[in-house]
Amino acid sequence: MLEISNIDVCYGDLQALWDVSLTVGGGEIVTLVGSNGAGKSTIMKAISGLLKPKTGSISFEGICVNKLPAHRIAELGISMVPEGRRLFPQMSVLENLEVGASAREAKKARHNTISWIYELFPILRARARQRAVTLSGGEQQMLAIGRALMSQPRLLLIDEMSLGLAPLLVQEISQVIKDINKSRKLTIFLVEQDVNMALSMADRGYIIEHGRIQSEGAARAFLCNERIKEAYLGISPVEKAG
């Protein structure tokens, strides 16, 4: 469904991604993990259209999207939950959701979609008229996800969902995501620092370091892999020795 081929991405003169390729198949949950500054958010920005790759191509359902502006990409069916949520602070929960449904088709169906979002995240219904900036961190994350879902996307990008959230909340939300993936066949590509959570949700995973893809494989295989466990999952030296 999503195919990234050999992209280089730069911030001005600073290159952040080198020859990155990856694929996401329909109905999958794929994750990209790596440490801080490895390039995860850069890839998300490149897919969603906020950054343009210098070389290489990104195609979605066969359509080449790397030259399209961000709002066109959103209309095509890719929706992103940005890092840091990026809600519209002075607009209400309801208004944030409504803006999420800006594409024509989504606009028509928005009342139904909003009801669905309220089912997924009941707290949002309670806070419908409150300004987004008054919500707690977890509620904001739920709103951000809800807003991204308003456009009825076929591919959902999630950038660093767990940042600043309590582990229990992260569990709850990731369960909701898994359910949507199963029930609506929504393809999900998530980028995460919390490797444990990401690998337990995903079908497949990629590892990125210093702007280059290091490995790829089934999520379960990563979880069992000794090297990966040591690098990312925090095996203590005692365990390792013994």
Partner 1 sequence: MEDVIQAIASGILVGALYALIAYGLGLIMGIMKFLNVAHGSLLILGGYVSYWIFTLWGINPYLSIPLVIIATFLAGLILYKLTLSPLLKLPDIEMRVANSLLITFGVIYVLDNAMALIWTPNSRSIMASYSGEAINIFGVKLSLTGLCGLGIAILVAVALYFILSKTYLGKHVRAATQDAEAASLCGVNVQRTYLISCGIAVALAGVAGVIVVSSYSITPGGGLSWLLIGIVVMVLAGEGNINAILPAGIILGLVESASIFVVGAPYRQAVALVIFIIVLMFRPQGLFTKKRTDVYYNS
Closest distance of CB 233 from partner 1, Å: 31
Nearer to partner 1, 31 or 79 (CB): 79
Which has the closest alpha carbon to 228: 195, 187, 182, 191? 195
- Residue from 24, 103, 156, 228 touching partner 1 (CB under 8 A): that is 103
> How is residue 35 written in tokens?
């440490």
Q: Does 61 bind partner 1 (CB under 8 A)?
A: no
Q: Does 205 bind partner 1 (CB under 8 A)?
A: no
- Residue from 102, 171, 196, 225 touching partner 1 (CB under 8 A): that is 102
Calpha distance 111→124 (Å, rounded): 14
For 7, the enclosing helix (H) or strand (E) is strand 2-11
- Residue from 1, 7, 9, 80 touching partner 1 (CB under 8 A): that is 80
Closest distance of CB 158 from partner 1, Å: 12
Nearer to partner 1, 59 or 102 (CB): 102
Which has the closest alpha carbon to 202: 192, 212, 211? 192
Q: Does 71 bind partner 1 (CB under 8 A)?
A: yes
CA 27 to chain centre: 14
> How is residue 191 written in tokens?
């980028």
Closest distance of CB 113 from partner 1, Å: 13
- Residue from 36, 90, 183, 236 touching partner 1 (CB under 8 A): that is 90
Q: Does 109 bind partner 1 (CB under 8 A)?
A: no
Torsion angles phi and psi, residue 79, rounded to 5: -125, 140
Judged by CB under 8 A, the chain residues 126 through 155 that form the site for partner 1 are: 147-148, 150-151
3-state SS, residue 207: strand
Beta strands in 47-117 (DSSP E): 55-60, 63-64, 78-81
Residue/partner pairs of 223-231 with CB below 8 Å, 24 or more apart: 223/199
By CB under 8 A, name the binding residues for partner 1.
48-50, 69-71, 74-75, 79-80, 82, 86-91, 95, 98-100, 102-103, 106-107, 147-148, 150-151
